Structure 1
Amino acid sequence: MSLDSSAPLQDASRRSASLRLRLGLAMPVVVGAMVGWFEWRDGGFEPLLPGLTHAVELVAALSVALMLLVEALLLRPLRQLASGCEAMESAPAPQAADMPEPRLGAELDRIGHAMHRAQGSLWQHDHEARELRRQLAEQRDLLERAHAALEANQRELASLARIDALTGLTNQRAFDESLRREFKRAQRQRGLLALAVLDLDEFKQFNERHGTAVGDATLQRVAALLNERFKRDTDIVARLGGEEFVALLPGCGMAEAQGVLELVREDLRALHLPDGRGDLTLSIGLAALSPAHPYLSAQALMQAADEALYIAKHAGRDRLSLAA
Structure 2
Amino acid sequence: MSGTSLVSARERAIAVLGGEPDDATLRRYLHGISGVDAVGLEQRAAGLGSRSIKTSSKQWALDRIISLIDLTTLEGADTPGKVRSLAAKAMNPDPADASTPRVAAVCVYGDMVPFAVEALGGAHGDPDDGLISVAAVATAFPSGRASLDIKLADTAEAVAAGADEIDMVIDRGAFLAGRYGLVFDQIAAVKEACRRADGSSASLKVILETGELVTYDNVRRASWLSILAGGDFIKTSTGKVAPAATLPVTLLMLEVVRDWHLATGQRIGVKPAGGIRSSKDAIKYLVTVAEIVGEEWLQPHLFRFGASSLLNDVLLQRQKIATGHYSGADYVTID
TM-score normalised by length of structure 2 = 0.19
Q: Which has the higher helix share?
A: 1
Q: Which of structures 1 and 2 has the larger relative contact order (alpha carbons within 8 angstroms, sep 6+)?
A: 2
